[in-house]
Structure 1
Amino acid sequence: MRKINIPRAFDRIHECWSPHIAARVNGQDVRLAKIEGAFEWHHHDGIDEAFFVVKGAFTMRFRDGDKEWDVEMEEGDFITVPAGAEHMPVAEKECWIMLIENAGTVNTGEHLSERTKTDLPEL
């Protein structure tokens, strides 16, 4: 068994958009990440993804064809992005998030880029 203090764990994350694994539960990763600026449009085929705002705020942008909409996320908010939904998180200032998703899920989903992280560090 291992105990982790979530707010203090963020002190060990030094790069934005670089998720770290805080725990594994029943085949799911609990990941922590600092985000700032815009990520990139992506989706995860067959995989839901949950976001919890630990500190700060961000906008989760969605699009479906020509339709786009935003969901404003504030400290304490939780959202599940359904499998296949095209989305892009955007944070005007540094924001701390917790993600829950299947172990091994690639952070950029089906879109591979220079931001793709495949070997996530553990906290």
Structure 2
Amino acid sequence: MKFIRAREFIGKNAWDALPIAVMNGISTRLHWTDQPYRWHTNDGEEVFVVLDGSVDMHYRDDNGEHIVTMECGDIFHATVGTEHVARPRGAARILVVETEGSV
């Protein structure tokens, strides 16, 4: 059993993660960052939840590149093949649920 106060987690580097659980090959991690990630496509689906701060989520589809500003409580579900990059506006804490070992 764990209790985690997300707002107290601060990584030493951008995108540092606090592992929370791995259940049937699906990992749940709390990330802290103040820097953008990189454009990528996950091996499987991803659920991305902003817990603190705000994040500009960039994604690409057949109609080009789009940007959605995510605030605390907002959720992004990346289906298989969704190319995306998260760019925080200052420090942010993000809950990520994805296949274990995914990029």
Q: Deviations over 1:80-103 (max 9, x none)?
A: 111111101001201000000011
CA contact (8 A) 1:4 1:22 kept: no
Instruction: In structure 2, list runs of 5 or more residues that go unmatched.
Output: none
CA contact (8 A) 1:60 1:70 kept: yes
Question: CA distance change for structure 1 residues 6 and 105 in 2, over 3 Å: closer, same or farther?
Answer: farther
1:104 equivalent to 2:94? Answer: no
Instruction: In structure 1, list runs of 5 or more residues that go unmatched.
Output: 107-123
Q: What secondary structure sits across from 2:101 in the alignment?
A: coil
Over the aligned positions, Cα root-mean-square deviation in angstroms equals 1.8
- State TM-score, norm by structure 1: 0.74
- Matches of 1:54 and 1:8, distance apart in 2: 8
- State TM-score, norm by structure 2: 0.87
Identity value in percent: 31
Other-structure match for 2:79: 82
Q: Deviations over 1:53-76 (max 9, x none)?
A: 110110110113671101111001
Report runs of 4+ in structure 1 exceeding 3 Å deviation: none
